[in-house]
Amino acid sequence: MPNPYFYAMNPFNRCLLLFLLAGWLATGCDSPGDGTSRHRGKADAADVNAIQLRPDLFITGPGTLDGCVGLYTYDSLNVAFDSLDVDKGRKIFATKASSFAFFRIHNRNITLQYDRTASGAVDKKTVREVYRGGEYTAILVTHSLQAEGETIIITGTLEIIRGSQHFKVKIKGVSGC
C-alpha cells in the first residue's frame, strides 16, 4: 500500500525529501580505504602515532657529536638550514656518520648504535639508516635535495619505535663533515 502522505506532498518537497534521504544514505556508507568511517573498528596501536615517543627539541648534543654529522628537525618548524649546527639550532635527531644517533624524549638523552645490516641505499638520492639501542629503534629515511660543498640539504622521515608503539614524522636537515 503506497504512503498517502508522500504522494500528497508538493512535488518540490517530495524531490527535496528524496534528495535529503539520498544524501543521508551516502554519508552513512563506508568509503573504501580511507579508514575514517564510523563503521570501521579501532586502528591498531602500531598504526597510530604514539605521542609519547615524540622527540624533544634540543640545542646542543653530546660532546661526541663532531666530525661528519647529520642534524634534523621537524619539517613543520620554520628553521633555516644554515642555522642548524652542532651547537645551535633546534634539532630533534642528530647522527654521526655510520656510528650512532642521539635524540631526547621526556628530557632523557637516548643514544642508539648504527645497524649496518638493516641500513643502506634505497636509490641514488635516498638512504635508509637504522639505529638500535635498548628499547628504542629509529629508522631515518632521507632524500638528498642539494649539495653545497660538503653540506647536503636533506628531507625525509624519522620513525621511532618502542615495542608496539610507533611515531613517524617528516623531517628536514643538513648532513656533512
Comparison of pLDDT for 87 and 128, the residue scoring more: 128
- Report pTM: 0.69
Domains of the chain, by residue range, sit at: 1-41, 45-176
What's the pLDDT tens digit per position in 98-118? Answer: 899 999 998 899 999 999 999
Pick left, alpha or beta for residue 162 (phi over 0 → left; psi -120 to 50 → alpha; otherwise beta): beta
Average pLDDT over residues 72-81: 75
Task: Identify the pLDDT of residue 75.
Answer: 82
Average pLDDT over residues 15-41: 62
For residue 177, give the C-alpha cell. Answer: 663533515
**CA–CA–CA angle 173, 175, 177 (5° rounding):** 150
Task: Identify the pLDDT of residue 1.
Answer: 58
CA 128, CA 161: separation in Å to the nearest integer? Answer: 15
Whether the predicted pLDDT of 128 surpasses 90: yes
CA 177, CA 85: separation in Å to the nearest integer? Answer: 11
CA 129, CA 69: separation in Å to the nearest integer? Answer: 13
Task: Identify the pLDDT of residue 3.
Answer: 67
What's the pLDDT tens digit per position in 40-73? Answer: 444 444 445 778 888 988 887 777 777 788 888 8
Task: Identify the pLDDT of residue 117.
Answer: 93
Sign of CA dihedral 62, 128, 81, 48: negative
CA 115, CA 104: separation in Å to the nearest integer? Answer: 19
CA nearest neighbour of 73 among 170, 138, 167: 170
What's the pLDDT tens digit per position in 142-162? Answer: 999 888 888 888 999 999 999
Comparison of pLDDT for 102 and 3, the residue scoring more: 102
Task: Identify the pLDDT of residue 143.
Answer: 93
Task: Supply the mean pLDDT for the chain.
Answer: 79
Task: Identify the pLDDT of residue 115.
Answer: 94
For residue 24, give the C-alpha cell. Answer: 543521508
Task: Identify the pLDDT of residue 40.
Answer: 45
State the burial class of residue 175 (Cβ atoms within 10 Å of its Cβ: 0-12, 13-18, 19+). buried
